[in-house]
Chains A and B, each alone.
Chain A
Amino acid sequence: MIEPGLYNYWIVVILMMAGFFIVMSHGNLVKKIVGLNIFQTSVFILYISLSKVSDATAPILDEAYSEYSNPLPHVLILTAIVVGVATSALGLALIVRIREAYGTVEEDEVIAQDPDL
């Protein structure tokens, strides 16, 4: 059973800030992508927790139940998860290319090799 309260938002904020901190403070590009993924998942948890209705069940129609959780955020987040994977794949491919061009995946070493950036 799920207690009512605001704690779901606080968990989301903590996760979101952890991801945000990784993206800002770390120069390693792979770790930046991991940070972005954490941020992304925290937004997913925010949406899904908004759609939860207490004493309701998963939105699959059945004679035995009359209360369902809100299906619309589920659909939106389903789309967002798949799009998120597509963008991470693109980011990781960019990292592989950067590694081939500069020989490093650290942000400041790339900038040091290329003064125009």
Chain B
Amino acid sequence: MALAIVRLRHLFAVVMLSGIYSLLSAGIFVQLDAVDVAFTEAAVGAGITTILMLGTLALTTDIERPPVQRQWLPLVVVLATGAALIYGTLDLPLLGDPNAPANLHVAPRYIEESGQEVGVPNIVTSVLASYRGYDTLGEVTVIFTAGVGVLVLLGGTRRRRQGKDRT
């Protein structure tokens, strides 16, 4: 799927493929027990991102010009980085290992105590809204900043265009 996105030059098809890719990754998340993440990925990744990209294509163009420069340098860099990363994975814990370091630090406490402390059966919700509430506040700030940025970038052009019409 990703390789098809690399090759295709018709941007409409690229955007559609990336939407399908998001939906597939949501399926992977369900398989890995992350149902909340899967909901968000399907709604936000496959839905909103695709709509935003289609909007951009409507405002710009949907055919990519064939590349002019040679592509061996990026390919070499990518292969070297990929080989280094694969070498790095050989020391990582196996998939599903209950004694992996990531699963031993604070997670057992969340699983055992959050039922009494917060009272919400969904542990992801209690961590998101209660234990890591400041994180979520920061996330809202980021979204607000991005929204303001988009409005400034796109709202300014409309005003300029109206000014041109008047003259």
Which A positions have Cβ atoms within 8 angstroms of B?
2-10, 13-22, 24-28, 30-31, 33-35, 37-38, 41, 44-45, 48-62, 67-75, 77-79, 81-90, 92-97, 99-100, 105-106, 108-109
Contact = CB atoms under 8 A, between A and B. Distances in A.
A67 B112 CA distance: 11
Interface string B47-65: 0110011011101110011
Contact of A90 (B28, B57, B89, B150): B150
Nearest to B82: A17
Nearest to A11: B28
SS of A interface (majority): helix
Contacts, number: 263
Nearest to A26: B67
A31 to B, nearest CB: 6
A8 B31 CA distance: 12
Contacts of A62: 121
Contact of B53 (A2, A34, A57, A109): A34
